[in-house]
Structure 1
Amino acid sequence: MQRRDFLAATLALGAGVPAAWLGYRHLNRPPSISLNKVGLPLAHLLRDGALHQAPQSQHRCRVLILGGGVAGLSAAWQLARRGRRDFVLAEGFERNGNAAAFHAGADLTAPTGAHYLAQPSAESTAVRDMLADLGIMAQNGAQPRYRDTDLVHAPAERLWYRGQWHDGLLPDNPDSRRFLRLVAKLKQARGADGRKAFAIPIVESSADEAWRRLDTDTFAAWLGRNRFKHPDLLHYLDYCCRDDYGQGIARVSAFAGLHYFAARANPNDAVLTWQDGLNHLAEKLRRRIGLRELPHFPAGTHWHGNPPAACAAVALAVREHERGVTVTLRHTASGQTVAVEAERVVCAMPLLMAARIIAGAPRYGFGGTLPEYAPWLVGNFVLHRFPQEAGKSELAWDNVVHGSSGLGYVVATHQLIRAAKPAHTVFTAYRAMNGDTPANMRRRLLDADAQALIEPAAADLLTVYGKAFWQCVSHIDLTVRAHAMTVPQPGYLHRADLTALRAHRSRIVFAHSDLSGYSVFEEAAYWGVRAADAVLDSL
């Protein structure tokens, strides 16, 4: 079977499990398997209106945060930092959202979502303040310093290219060198308004239409017009867009494609990472805030929330009125449903959910269409021993297969400072499912069972290690994120609905990376902090 045929077969998801896995199961005791389709079945019941039931009790609170991902936690951190601790956080469908992690044992964890944070640039003041407050940045100044234990250790990345490993992810060629020279210039480019052409958070970027005009076409079309044609460069750029945006160069905006490379402009590109990925930051935020993790709703009619509390609940309905905001909450474990009247609400959930549950959604800015969401498949392979490496190559933190439709795999234990390899590890394989339209790939993912998802999740690992890889695996944890991230398609900078939602101020304030049109930690943190400040100003 040719590689392209193999990958096409794995993307079918329902066509049967390939021979490598079947052969392993026949000759060996198969590893245990767990499958988490995030938010299901509750999310679809909510979508279909099947969860609406009369509240069993009535409650009041000052501030209610809807969503326990990075945006919601950032809002909670800012509220607590500025002295407002009487709030309650409803987690939503998943603790820590896209920063969640898989726990493989007492001392072994791995990300099921985002796995690193780039060093924040000068414009990302909210993230710099946060990292300083958490003790990760030793100095919050023009040139911040980070702890060595938080910066990715060498070797950071390698590329499987033509049957062997190579340092770095971009093969050298004239087009690649020309593109990198262009990026160096774009990092310093400014618009007529004096602002950086590309900045994070994206609202800090220049409004100069000479730059924003890049948002009218796809990245692939822009590359073609500018004669970037070398296949190795195009695959690398496609990989980068799939990694950050969930879709490749043929679907994302040219502005987004260049923004990926030019926005941060850090002198040192080493990223921050931990064994459990961004779950590490999320949990540190929770401890810093002093969140009480309640197994049930807070007791009493008045939810004082001091110290602040968090509970596993999802909002079924949100209605703003002259006295406050009435939110119907359903506990995701017990099923208990309550009505809460809050003075202020931070809506830190994805916009596709907010549009469905907020009464009178169009008056807040929601339009007829929402941004496209990319589906993801994340496979965590718990290993009782390390597989044999080809040649003399040393295992890196990030390992990418050239020409693959996957995104490679990261090694959870890479940051552990040891004289020898740990006895156990986890390889986390990422796949942005973009072999078809997001809607079609989403349907295939949701219809597939765990057996059908194993080979797509393991495709890059099998390319590198062959079927012998299965002999190292003791457990497979699969996570399906059907609406993992918004895709910055052409026109995303000019969406009227996002502009309106960003500017909206009432008893409801919005906070989610969706407001930026794409999903990264810095954007979520920015909107969370901004929402908290708006709430504090209004109170």
Structure 2
Amino acid sequence: MTARLNRRDWLAQMQMAALGLVGCRADETPLAGGWVGAAAQRGHRLRTLKSGALPVAAVQRRAHVLVIGAGVAGLAAARALGQAGIDDVHLLELEDEAGGNARGHRMAGMDCPLGAHYLPVPGDEAAEVCALLADFGLARFAHGRWVWDERHLCHSPQERLFFEGAWHEGLLPPAEPGSDTLAQYRRFSLLVSQAQREVGFSMPALHTPWTAAHAALEAVTFADWLGRHGLDDARLRWYLDYCCRDDYGADAATVSAWAGLHYFASRHGFHPPGDEEAEREPVLTWPEGNAWLTRRMAAPLADRLHTGRTALQVIERLYEVEVLVWNEATGQAERWTAHRVVLALPVFIAARLMGTGASEALREVAAQAHHAPWLVANLHLDAPLLPRLGTPSAWDSIAYGSTGLGYVDALHQSLRPHAGPTVLTAYLALPVAQRAALLADDWRPWAQRVIGDLAALHPDLPQRLQRIDLMRYGHAMRVPLPGTRTSPAHQALSNLKTRVTLAHADLAGYSVFEEAYTLGVQAGFSLARTLRRSRHA
């Protein structure tokens, strides 16, 4: 039988975690770890430069189309251009690996994510995403429906919640029969279904025409909307806050009611306990997370993908676009000249690169945009953690009442016949006020915070921990504030007719794979049509 900690030992471990004493293992060996990913100084190079201090280019390069930013949208744009027959396409990426928020990592020979770690099985509205997954052998269309490769669907148990001393399957807090909690779960479910029928939602959202009903929902916060409908149960409100922080990086009091409902209504709805028609949303996941997808998107680019390149300036001329770039490896500036440029970057970076050449709409949206900082921590454990009461180890685990986003087990998808060493990936969506602290040099306070949170669930974790690697995102994802999509400036961005094309999830008002990929594909094919027309003019 597996040994269990008694209550006194468990409480002692909890106190150690609270005091921040879990930074060392039992043998007093200092904790190994540190920051991974590019240094924050790369991203801040543009911010600290003044126009008169721009470096002189030592290298001149040319491309027919230049894509700046090799995240999901940039990779999608390059892929679409290639499919449309535009071959001279080069990508510039600040980091040392493509993928943006969907990059991967490796610890002790085990793959793990550095960002996005799953993709919900797309519906028919996400035709572009379905086509990508089919190309990668993850799905095939047979007898009028998509059939998914079971090997890439999340294994069971998929999710669990630590609630009142035990693990429960699923992330929705339990509700007793006849309780007000259960009644509010059912009421919210009916409201989500009503919104699906009467307002309309899809994933990606750009495939749903924007109406006055959508605008009305976007005018208020999700928390205000819930309050108007008498939905104030503590368990329901915690769960909805968790969902908003998980997808948007901010709570229900911050995001719009449209965004809060979109989380559920654009996919499989909301199902209260006892709903016989409820079907858990299937998700595709891999040990390295969505890096499984982005690495395959980047592979065909070969030497046309240039990593470690920080864009400093974009100048649109009459017949071409000039881009000044800093090569992080050589310490030299490069000047690229292209007929067309795709800026697959957050709006505030795109506006800064364009400078005085940025459109009024882009400058206004950049000033309005609110981006959430994120911390992603990968913890290498040398052995399985001791089990607790309830549901056994799952892919995704979170504690009720926590402000964190829980953790995923990178080896949950493994087919190994016995448990062993693994990597847990923990996520924190942080308030903007903590961005400066996140970007400070010392990683240890953040490591202790993560370890303390997880030790409250697994008191033996500090003794199992071998190393912790942390990835920080100062501006991880755009938060869908009230008024985001309704803004005239936001709507005007999609109608700009210049040599510089925008393609980023920021244009959707929030950051998920489906939006970024679809926007990138649409930008790539639209640009290809423009280039063909100009060639034959």
TM over 0.5: yes
- Greater CA drift, 43-52 or 482-491: 43-52
CA distance in 1, matches of 2:385, 2:79: 41
Give the aligned length.
497
- 1:79·1:532 contact (CA, 8 Å) conserved in 2? yes
After superposition, give the CA deviation of every residue in 1:407-437 in whole Å (9 maximum; x if it has no partner): 100000111112212x321000001113xxx
CA distance in 2, matches of 1:71, 1:141: 31
Q: Take 1:382 and 1:528, find their aligned partners in 2: how far apart are those partners?
A: 35
Three-state SS of the structure 2 residue aligned to 1:494 is: coil
- C-alpha contact (below 8 Å) 2:40/2:439 kept by paired residues: no
Question: Is 2:230 the counterpart of 1:232?
Answer: no
Query: Which moved further from structure 2: 160-169 or 197-206?
Result: 197-206
Name the CA distance, whole Å, in 1 between partners of 2:267 and 2:496: 28
Residue 356 (structure 1) aligned with residue 358 (structure 2): no
Give the conservation status (yes or no) of the 8 Å contact 2:20–2:452. no
Task: Show the counterpart of 1:276.
Answer: 288
Q: Secondary structure at the match of 2:79?
A: helix
2:260 maps to 257
Q: Which of 190, 213, 235 pairs up with 1:181?
A: 190
Shift of 1:91: 1.4
In the other structure, the counterpart of 2:423 is 426
TM-score by length of 2: 0.88
Alignment of 1:44 onto 2:44: yes
1:135 maps to 137
Alignment of 1:201-212 (within 5 A): 201-212=204-215
Cα shift readout 1:145-202 (whole Å, capped 9, x = no counterpart): 1101111010000000011101111123221122123323433x244xxxxx211222
Separation (CA, whole Å) in 2 of partners of 1:263 and 1:60: 42
Would the aligned equivalents of 2:73 and 2:503 in 1 still touch at CA under 8 Å? yes
Q: Deviations over 1:357-386 (max 9, x none)?
A: 114344262234131000111110011111
Matched letter for residue 335 of structure 2: A
SS state at 1:490 partner? coil
- Partner of 2:101 in structure 1? 98
Letter in 1 for 2:133: L
Q: CA deviation at 1:38?
A: 4.8
What corresponds to 2:400 in structure 1? 402
1:291 is paired with a residue whose SS is: helix
CA distance, structure 2, for counterparts of residue 350 and residue 145 of structure 1:
34
- For 2:264 and 2:235, locate their aligned partners in 1 and report how far apart those are by CA, in whole Å: 17
Taking only aligned residues, the RMSD between alpha carbons, in angstroms, comes to: 2.2
SS of the aligned residue for 2:380 comes to: strand
Q: Quick one: which of 112, 115, 118 aligns to 2:117?
A: 115
Cα deviation 1:26-83 (Å, max 9, x = unaligned): 7432331121375511222210116720001222210111001000111111112222
Q: Which amino acid in the other structure matches residue 428 of structure 1?
A: T
| 1:393 CA drift (Å) | 3.3
**Residue aligning to 2:127:** 125
2-side partners of 1:276 and 1:260: how far apart? 24
Contact 2:95 2:307 in 1 (8 A): no
Q: Which amino acid in structure 2 is aligned with residue 178 of structure 1?
A: R
1:5-84 to 2 correspondence within 5 Å? Answer: 18-22=19-23, 24-25=24-25, 27-36=27-36, 38-49=38-49, 52-84=54-86
Picking from 365, 380, 387, the partner of 2:361 is 365
Q: 1:125 deviation in Å?
A: 1.2
Corresponding letter in the other structure for 1:518: Y
Counterparts of 2:260 and 2:143, CA distance in 1: 29
Q: 2:456 matched to 1:454? A: no
CA offsets 1:489-531 (integer angstroms, 9 cap, x no match): 1101112232222221321111000001100000000110011
Correspondence for 2:457 among 435, 454, 464? 464
The equivalent residue for 1:291 is: 301
Question: Does the 8 Å CA contact 1:320/1:508 hold for their aligned counterparts?
Answer: yes
Letter aligned with residue 487 of structure 1: V
- Equivalence for 1:377: 375
Instruction: State the SS of the aligned residue for 1:323.
Output: coil
- Per the alignment, residue 346 of structure 1 pairs with 342
SS at match of 2:491: helix
Partner residue, 2:324: 328
Q: Secondary structure at the match of 1:229?
A: coil
| One-letter code aligned to 1:88 | H
Q: Matches of 1:152 and 1:411 in 2, distance apart?
A: 11
**Which residue identity does 1:429 align to in structure 2?**
A
Stretch of structure 1 that moved more, 264-273 or 509-518: 264-273
d(CA) in 1 for partners of 2:117 and 2:360? 33
Residue aligning to 1:199: 202
Distance 1:129 1:86, change over 3 A: same
Q: Write the letter of the residue equivalent to 1:122.
A: D
Which of 471, 478, 483 aligns to 2:475? It is 483
2:310 corresponds, among 275, 299, 314, to 314
Q: State the AA in 2 paired with 1:284.
A: R
Partner Cα separation in structure 2 for residue 502 and residue 274 of structure 1: 33
Question: Identity over aligned residues, as a percent?
Answer: 36
Using the alignment, how far apart are the partners of 1:142 and 1:408 within structure 2?
37
Q: Say which is worse superposed, 86-95 or 357-366, in terms of deviation.
A: 357-366
In structure 1, give the amino acid aligned to 2:285.
Answer: T
Shift of 1:484: 0.4
- C-alpha distance in structure 2 between counterparts of 1:358 and 1:338, whole Å: 17
Residue 228 of structure 1: SS of its match in structure 2? coil
Higher mean displacement: 507-516 or 28-37:
28-37
Partner deviation per Cα, 1:3-34 (whole Å, 9 max, x = no partner):
xxx99xx9xxxxxx934325x45743233112
Q: CA deviation at 1:238?
A: 0.1
Residue 304 (structure 1) aligns with: none
| Partner-residue secondary structure (3-state), 1:493 | coil
Alpha-carbon spacing, 1:364–1:72, altered in 2? closer, same or farther (3 Å): farther
Structure 2 counterpart of 1:182, one-letter code: L
Cα 1:86–1:41 shift into 2, 3 Å: same
Check whether the contact 2:479–2:509 (CA below 8 A) recurs between aligned residues: yes
- CA distance in 2 between counterparts of 1:46 and 1:362 reads 16
Find the aligned partners of 1:497 and 1:332 in 2 and give their Cα distance: 34
Deviations 1:82-107 (A, max 9, x none): 2222211111235211001111144x
1-structure distance, mates of 2:205, 2:96:
26
